[in-house]
Structure 1
Amino acid sequence: MSEILHWENWTTRKPHRCFGCGKTYPAGSQMVNAAYEDDGSVDSCYWCKTCQEYMHRYFEYGDETDFGEIFANDPDGWNTLRAEMEE
């Protein structure tokens, strides 16, 4: 299981891909920058607001996901949530 080392809201200065959905977001987007340790190595990634809310609603403690898996496994649910958040 991965251990979260850092989880902070950022306004991006360049385009970044969201780890949860795999979509690219432009510079100036509000995203979370996360650093984590897994099997002795440290890495970081970015999370969009939609994937953050998706995890908050549907994930349980200890759930993990691979790159792009949130959108790949539930594109309708992800798109519905994104539309709801944009209202």
Structure 2
Amino acid sequence: MTPPEILLILLIAAICGGIGQTMVGYSAGGCISAIVVGIIGAYVGIWLAGYVGLPPIFTITISGNAFPIIWCIVGAAIFSAALGLVNRLIVGPRR
């Protein structure tokens, strides 16, 4: 992979992570956390879709690797919801 391809994947991960965090209503932080949530959400979403047997939806191919956008957003939303739940259990409800 070339550096522009890596930057493109990080940009797509940041967008998917940001959309997933917005859907849930919990933000873990700024752009770097959106990238991390997007990357982990991609793994969660792809695993979940494969486990249930669902096909890839809206796939973008970058250097021969498929990147299913919808499952990445769904995975990012699930991961962000889990982060919000853990944060609420540890810190407590906001006043």
If the TM-score is normalised by the length of the shorter chain, which range does it land in?
A: under 0.3
Higher relative contact order (CA 8 A, sep 6+): 2
TM-score, normalised with respect to structure 1: 0.27
Q: Decide which structure has the larger Cα Rg and report it.
A: 2
More helix by share: 2
Q: When you count strand as a share of all residues, which structure comes out higher?
A: 1
TM-score, L = length of structure 2:
0.26
